[in-house]
Structures are given as C-alpha cells and as structure tokens.
A and B are shown apart, each in its own frame.
Chain A
Amino acid sequence: MFMWLVVWIGVLVIISRPSTVYGIMQALEIERTADFFVMSGFTLFSIIIFYLYIVVKKSNQKVEELVRSLAIEKRKVKRSKKVKK
C-alpha cells in the first residue's frame, strides 16, 4: 500500500511540476517529459511484473508444500488410528 502511495504522489508531483525531473531527464538525455513518462512507466511496470512473478511463484511453492504435507500427514493419522484399533 505504501509503495503505491509513493508511486501516485510521485506521478502527481511530476504532472504538476515537470521541472522536478528535468535534472534526471538531462542526465538520461531525454528531451521530452512525455518520453520520460513512457520510459519510466515501462521500467516501473516491468519491475512490478517481475516482482509479482516472484511472489506468485513463492506462493505456489508454499501451496504445493502445504497440499503435499497435508496428504502425507492425513494418511499417517489414518494409519496410526488403524493400528490403535
């Protein structure tokens, strides 16, 4: 949530005062503010997509581990109940 707040505040600042990014634009040799917007937006979205890919992959691994250990534990419990009877 905090990350999105920073992103939106950044966007608002750049829109209302484009001069704030002139320094960065000069360093990157970008002439138009619109070009800077497109390029930084593309970079930001690429980072976000990669980040989400990692998050989803990690979640999938956790779900897999959980489902697999549940299957084994459930079977163990059934076996031990059978032995007790």
Chain B
Amino acid sequence: MKSKKVFIIIPGYNEEKRVGNVIKTIRHLGFKNIIFVDDGSSDKSSQIAKSAGADVLCHIINLGKGAAVKTGCDYALKQGANIIVLMDSDGQHRPEDIRRFLKKLEEEKSDIVFGYRIIDKNMPFVMKFGNWFISTATKIIQGIDIRDTQSGFRCMKSGTYRKIRWESTDYSMESEMIANVGKHKLKYSEIPINTIYLDNFKGTTIFDGIRIFINIIRFKVFGRK
C-alpha cells in the first residue's frame, strides 16, 4: 500500500472554522497528498486550507458537493493518484479512520469502500430517518444493500473512479456513485466510522433528501454511464 499514491479529497464550502484542523490532522498522520476543493466559499477556507498544507482548487462559484468532489478527483488522477479517499471538511469524520479504509480496500480487494455511520443517540433524529429512508429506497430500487448511502467518507481505486464518475453536482452524487457501482458490478465493502455531529444545520436538508429520492428513481429508470 505504501508504494501507492493516496490522495485525500476534501470538498468544502465556507468551512474556515474546521478545515484547517482536519487538514493538519491528516498531515500528521503522514498523508501528503491532500486536495481541498473550495466550492466558491466567501470566507477564508482556501487560505486556511493552503496554510494547513493542502493543495487548493477553487471554484469561482458554488456548484455543489458533487461537482467539487469531481474536480478534486479529476485533479488527483492528473497527479497520478492510485487511491482516492473522500471525506468531509466539517470535521465530522475522523482522519484516523483513513488507514482503516486503505486496509479494508487492500485486504478485501474491493474496488470501493463505503464508511457507514454508527447509529447512536448522538445522531439527530431527522438524519437517522433520512438515512434509513434513502438506504431502504436504494436497496429496493437499485438492489444494492448499503448501510449508509449518504456517508461522504469513502475510499476507492482510481480505476473505480473512472468507471463510476458521476454527473450530479449536488448531494445526489453519493447515490449516483452507488448506482454506478451496481451497474458496473464492482466489489464494495463497508466499515463503521465514528461521526462527530458539530453542526445540525449544514449538509443534507429534507429537500435534498427528496431530490436524492427522485434521483435514485431517475438513475434506475434512465441509467447512467
């Protein structure tokens, strides 16, 4: 695994409070290829990420998480990435888990590893219900059984990214990724991740959830790629 080039992609929008710590922690763990994609932030996210040691790519306007992650992945491929790790910039994912993802990817010879959030009392009820609803919908409609379809903590081989490259620019990207994994019959595995809920009002909203549900049906009916 050491010989492989691992790139950590972190999309972010107005995350100046937390992105610096996230990047510093990842660097302390020994990962040097960190790409922060600033999705049109109006705060100092870019400067903070850069001073923390990340390679910063800036969208001049806000496009959405799907577009930001795609920019990061495309850039990582151009830099010769072998493995791509996706994680959030708001500090809800523990960078220490990255090694577990890489281990799982190698041990199980998976194409992609999905992190799933452990459901406990710390998880807000709306999020619990939303995740259950979208995961059940994915299972019924797409036929893929993934415990947490909306977790942004994922790890994949660069070849996998080429196959599952999504078109969604918003939070539907997570579902489109899963739909494409199913379509290409790729091998996937899951690992539990600890999540720190710092801000209940950011991230996926109820309206995003409805849009994701409609898109799950759309991906099934019209297909992708």
Contacts and interface: CB of A to CB of B under 8 A. Distances in A.
B165 interface: no
B58 A72 contact: no
Interface string B88-112: 0000000000000000000000000
Interface stretch (B63-71, B115-123, B135-143, B200-208): B63-71
Contacts of B155: none
B67 A64 contact: yes
A12 interface: no
B57 A67 contact: no
B78 interface: yes
Contacts of A60: 169
B63 A75 contact: no
Contact of A75 (B57, B60, B61, B169): B57
Nearest to B74: A72
Contacts, number: 35
Interface in B46-86: 55-61, 63, 67, 70-71, 74-75, 78
Interface residues on B, range: 10 to 19
B55 A71 contact: no
Interface residues on A, range: 10 to 19
A64 B65 CA distance: 12
A72 B57 contact: yes
A71 B37 contact: yes
A64 B169 contact: yes
B169 A71 contact: no
Interface in A47-85: 60, 63-64, 67-68, 70-72, 74-75
A75 B55 contact: yes
Interface in B1-51: 37
Nearest to A72: B75
B158 to A, nearest CB: 16
B70 A71 contact: no
A54 B58 CA distance: 28
B58 A68 contact: no
Contact of B74 (A64, A67, A68, A74): A68
A70 B70 CA distance: 13
11 contacts: A63-B61, A67-B60, A67-B61, A68-B63, A68-B70, A71-B37, A71-B57, A72-B78, A74-B57, A75-B55, A75-B56
Interface of B: 37, 55-61, 63, 67, 70-71, 74-75, 78, 169
Given A63-B61, A64-B169, A67-B67, 8 more contacts: A67-B63, A68-B63, A68-B67, A68-B74, A70-B60, A71-B58, A72-B71, A74-B58
